[in-house]
């Protein structure tokens, strides 16, 4: 029994280093002993504990001891009163949120081992519908999208799973995880009981069930609970819709484990269902009042915080967020001391790779950065932060007798010396054949979900007036005869500029970036991208457009050269590595665009900040030659250079005048 320790102090009895199989018996003895104020009674209890330990250690080989609080094969899961109950034993969930698409698949296990090392017994994840059904009826659960593999890995690492399949998830993710192709039908009402919406929802959930129902705890898997929708009380009050989603989730097979809802304290009356337990979401400083509100709303029932916002996300052009680790640790201590279950949102934020970032409406359009660092316990690259240590100390205080695993070996970080992007080509060279339309069309109407779109028409002069882009979504560069004459930014409420044309015919071209769909609030129902209404000049609508899609999902067809060009374009370079490791590409000298390395889409850059680097996982690098492709909206004919840093830059905003110039 080396490492076992039993002490009594004041009216408390404490133990550590105790095998899992003896914990239940020990806790019963402890509760009985504490009913008596007698120090002699507590001493006798300590002696009994030693006897229990002797029996426990003799029958349980170390290699077969289960991870603390983990489910057993084919378990029985229910919610009784304030807690989950697994095979007759109460389970206080101590969970951390992390999302499989925001972590390279090669690093899933590393992050989960770090979750165990911090003392977590559960992880929570959303499921992102738009990843798994990129086109109607076409499903993808392979590679990075293999959510079942993510869940199985959690089980292998001794973690329970709380599953959040949506269909809407928010998550600072494009359209809150809803597929953008839903927007191609202007009559469909998202997040409603509308049959046009619910039919694809039901098909998606049924298909998801094929992947994940075999991994429910009732079938020997780690999934102990499934959330129905997500914070619906912050969106609407349609109980019929919520019931339809619940029924679809149950019909897909997930009803074998407890279903529950999650809302803010004020929104609980609107987003819940009477037959389902309700969890509550809140940020630092709100724990006592939020649980009090939950108690008033449901005097009896589950006491779980499904999202404790231990950090916050960043938006382009706004300051990087940091939050107070000490305050969060104190509140974590309070919640655990009350016996409440909780989920840290986020334990590890990671990166919103590619074009999947969402946007908020915060007195205006506010697209989010590619970094989802979130100021969480693990930083963007998975390295433990000061919060990790603070939270681990608190959790250890409440999980006496349980030994947390050691942190896994640190993933190395490297620097990449500066290298040239010495090949290039213009965006125009790869646009392909246009679609012709009398009026501009949004991306979704043309079957395009992400990236960029070019609108081209002919205008005649001489004429002077206001060029207006009605319902611009989201950022536009306007060219006349190949010359950039201005930019328009939805963030700034910009949708028009003054234009003066000399006599003759002129080519008008508008390049529009989809900067990310709004993921929260009623505006998600109208988040089509591109120019979604009309373009007028001098009050007259311009007709006869050629529309070119640039979804950026197939770069292998781009033909690079070293011929000069002007305007938006692609730049390619190569670098050599003797060893691989995580690094951060320094994009601070660039304007606005996106980056790919060895075929992996890293995300967006924008000189306005606060993010100035892009996380490049070592798992996506290789010894020898590596390829980088940069799309730069503010391109020029001069090849640029890049380097990789050992640390990120996430907190550098551009000077106001420089940002305005962009």
* DSSP bridge pairs for 8: 13
Q: What would the DSSP string read from start to end of 398-422?
A: HSTT-PPPPPPPPPPB--EEEEE--
Give the 3-state DSSP-derived string for 518-545, with helices as H, strands as E and coil as C: ECCCHHHHHCCCEECCCEEECCEECCCE
Q: What would the DSSP string read from start to end of 286-297?
A: -HHHHHHHHHHH
Whether omega for the bond prior to residue 218 falls within 30 degrees of 0, making it cis, is no
The first and second tokens of residue 394, run together, are 């608190």
Task: Tell me the three state secondary structure of residue 351.
Answer: strand
What whole-number distance in Å separates Cα of residue 18 and Cα of residue 380? 35
Which whole-number Å values give the CA distances from 239 to 182, 191, 271, 280, 519, in the listed order?
22, 11, 8, 18, 21
What's the count of helices (H) and strands (E) in the chain, helices before strands? Answer: 12, 34
Per the CB < 8 A criterion, the answer to whether 258 and 77 are in contact is yes
Task: Tell me the three state secondary structure of residue 81.
Answer: coil
Which whole-number Å values give the CA distances from 188 to 165, 182, 199, 319, in the listed order?
21, 7, 11, 36
What whole-number distance in Å separates Cα of residue 377 and Cα of residue 325? 9
Cα 204 to chain centroid distance, Å, stands at 20
Give the 3-state DSSP-derived string for 113-175, with helices as H, strands as E and coil as C: HHHHHCCCCEEEEECCHHHHCCECCECCCCHHHCHHHHHHHHHHCCCEEEEECCCCCCCCEHH
Terminal Cα-to-Cα distance of the chain (whole angstroms): 66
What whole-number distance in Å separates Cα of residue 41 and Cα of residue 46? 9
Per the CB < 8 A criterion, the answer to whether 394 and 535 are in contact is no
What is the 3-state composition of the chain as percent helix, strand, coil, each rounded to the nearest 5? 30, 30, 40
Per the CB < 8 A criterion, the answer to whether 633 and 477 are in contact is yes
Task: Tell me the three state secondary structure of residue 109.
Answer: helix
Active site (catalytic) residues: 231, 307
What whole-number distance in Å separates Cα of residue 50 and Cα of residue 22? 10
What whole-number distance in Å separates Cα of residue 154 and Cα of residue 151? 5
Q: Which string of b and e fits 318-333 if b means at least 16 CB within 10 Å?
A: bebbebebeebbebbb
């Amino acid at each position: 029994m080396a490492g076992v320790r039993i002490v009594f102090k004041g009216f408390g009895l404490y133990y550590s280093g105790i095998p899992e199989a003896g914990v239940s018996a020990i806790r019963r003895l402890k509760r009985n002993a504490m009913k008596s104020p007698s120090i002699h009674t507590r001493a006798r209890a300590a002696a009994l504990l030693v006897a229990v330990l002797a029996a426990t250690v003799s029958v349980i080989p170390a290699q077969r001891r289960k991870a603390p609080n983990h489910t057993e094969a084919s378990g029985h899961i229910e919610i009784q009163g304030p807690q989950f109950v697994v095979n007759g034993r109460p389970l206080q969930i101590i969970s951390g949120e992390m999302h499989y698409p925001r972590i390279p698949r090669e690093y899933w296990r590393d992050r989960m081992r770090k979750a165990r090392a911090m003392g977590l017994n559960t992880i929570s994840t959303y499921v992102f519908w738009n990843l798994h059904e990129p086109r109607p009826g076409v499903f993808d659960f392979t590679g990075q999208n293999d959510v079942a593999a993510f869940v199985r890995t959690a089980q292998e690492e001794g973690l329970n799973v709380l599953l959040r399949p949506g269909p809407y998830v928010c998550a600072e993710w494009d359209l809150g995880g809803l597929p953008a192709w839903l927007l191609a039908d202007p009559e469909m009402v998202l997040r409603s009981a509308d049959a046009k919406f619910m039919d694809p929802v039901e098909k998606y959930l049924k298909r998801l069930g094929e992947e994940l129902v075999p991994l429910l705890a009732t079938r020997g898997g780690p999934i102990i609970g499934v959330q129905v929708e997500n914070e619906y009380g912050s969106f609407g009050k349609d109980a019929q819709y919520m019931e339809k989603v619940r029924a679809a989730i149950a019909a897909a097979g997930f009803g074998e484990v407890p279903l529950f809802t999650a809302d803010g304290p004020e929104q609980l009356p609107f987003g819940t269902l009477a037959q389902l337990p309700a969890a509550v979401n809140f940020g630092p400083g709100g724990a006592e009042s939020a649980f009090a509100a939950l108690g008033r709303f449901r005097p009896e029932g589950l006491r779980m915080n499904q999202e404790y916002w231990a950090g916050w996300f960043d938006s382009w052009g706004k300051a990087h967020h940091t939050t107070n680790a000490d305050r969060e640790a104190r509140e974590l201590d309070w919640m655990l001391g009350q016996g409440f279950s909780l989920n840290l949102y986020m334990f590890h934020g990671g990166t919103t790779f590619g074009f999947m970032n969402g946007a908020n409406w915060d007195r205006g359009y506010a697209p989010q950065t590619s970094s989802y660092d979130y100021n969480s316990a693990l930083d963007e690259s998975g390295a433990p932060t000061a919060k990790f240590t603070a939270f681990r100390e608190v959790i250890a205080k409440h999980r006496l007798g349980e030994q947390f695993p050691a942190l896994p070996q640190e993933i190395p970080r490297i620097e990449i010396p500066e290298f040239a992007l010495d090949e290039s080509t213009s965006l125009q060279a790869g646009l392909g054949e246009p679609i012709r339309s009398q009026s501009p069309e949004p991306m979704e109407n043309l079957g395009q979900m992400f990236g960029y779109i070019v609108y081209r028409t002919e205008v005649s002069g001489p004429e002077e007036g206001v060029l207006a882009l009605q319902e611009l979504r989201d950022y536009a560069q306007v060219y006349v005869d190949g010359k950039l004459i201005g930019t328009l930014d939805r963030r700034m409420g910009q949708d028009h500029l003054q234009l003066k044309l000399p006599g003759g015919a002129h080519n008008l071209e508008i390049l529009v970036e989809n900067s990310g769909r709004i993921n929260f609030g009623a505006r998600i129902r109208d988040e089509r991208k591109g120019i979604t209404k009309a373009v007028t000049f001098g009050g007259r609508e311009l007709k006869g457009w050629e529309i070119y899609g640039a979804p950026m999902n197939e770069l292998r067809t781009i033909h690079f050269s070293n011929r000069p060009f002007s305007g938006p374009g692609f730049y390619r370079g190569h670098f050599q590595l003797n060893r691989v490791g995580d690094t951060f590409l320094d994009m601070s000298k660039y304007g606005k665009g996106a980056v790919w390395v060895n075929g992996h889409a890293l995300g967006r850059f924008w000189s306005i900040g606060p993010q100035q680097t892009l996380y490049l996982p070592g798992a996506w690098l290789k010894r020898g030659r590596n390829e980088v492709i940069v799309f730069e909206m503010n391109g020029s004919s001069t090849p640029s250079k890049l380097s990789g840093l050992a640390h990120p830059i996430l907190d550098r905003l551009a000077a106001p005048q420089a940002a305005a110039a962009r």
